[in-house]
Amino acid sequence: MNGVYWFDLGDLVAGFHKAAYLGIKDGDPDVPVLPASITLGPTTFLENMLDSGIGDYSDMFNWHIYDKPSRYPERAERYRQLLSRYGMADAPDWLTEFGAAFRNSDGPNQTNLNTVDQQTQCRFVAQSITMALAAGVDKAFYFLIPGIHDPKGEEFGLMYADLSPYPGYIALSASDRMSSISSMSGTL
């Protein structure tokens, strides 16, 4: 969000969010409600939303990042510092979107990644999950599993056009299994 996709002030977003929260909770009090995802780090836009009281109308905090995995912990810490000023320091932290674009490099009008990009994507996925865990996030969601094969030639997905898995999909699956094991045992 952060004014990249929504050019109005955070207080307007907060107003929509509060109304949606009340409606959702009226329908099912157990459904978790997340505020608008934040993409650019702690900004005036986010502070404006927090000043408008969305903390009382949110069950967790969520954010997106498209950056080097090594930067995830720093970003998460900056969010926590800001959230603590608004009484949300203990809110569950969901990384609701992370990923990286790769070039469709099999040739013109092709949708599949070449072998080198598949290996790079696989390392990126494993590093991202590891750094998200190190950052203390409670849940992390990769963008995008099946892929979008966009006209600019960028590929975000973890699958070939025929929906068979790239190695990055296997890395995500293994990372999910490992993080499930670590959360059950209490160790990583």
Within 13 A of 97's CA, how many CA atoms are on the CB side?
15
DSSP state of 71: G
Lowest mean pLDDT among 27-31, 60-64, 151-155: 151-155
Whether the per-residue pLDDT at 3 is higher than 70: the answer is: no
CB 38 within 8 A of CB 64: yes
Cβ atoms 143, 128 nearer than 8 A: no
On the CB side of 73, CA atoms within 13 Å amount to 8
Query: pLDDT for 98-140, tens place per residue?
Result: 999 887 765 555 668 888 999 999 999 999 999 999 999 999 9
- Phi-psi sector, 186: left (phi>0), alpha (psi -120 to 50), beta: left
Q: Whole-model pTM? A: 0.86
Q: What is the CA radius of gyration of the chain?
A: 18
CA distance 88 to 85: 8
How confident is the model over 46-56, as a mean pLDDT? 93
Q: Write the class of the CATH domain 60-185.
A: alpha beta
Q: What is the pLDDT of residues 134-164, one digit of tens each?
A: 999 999 999 989 877 667 778 889 998 888 9
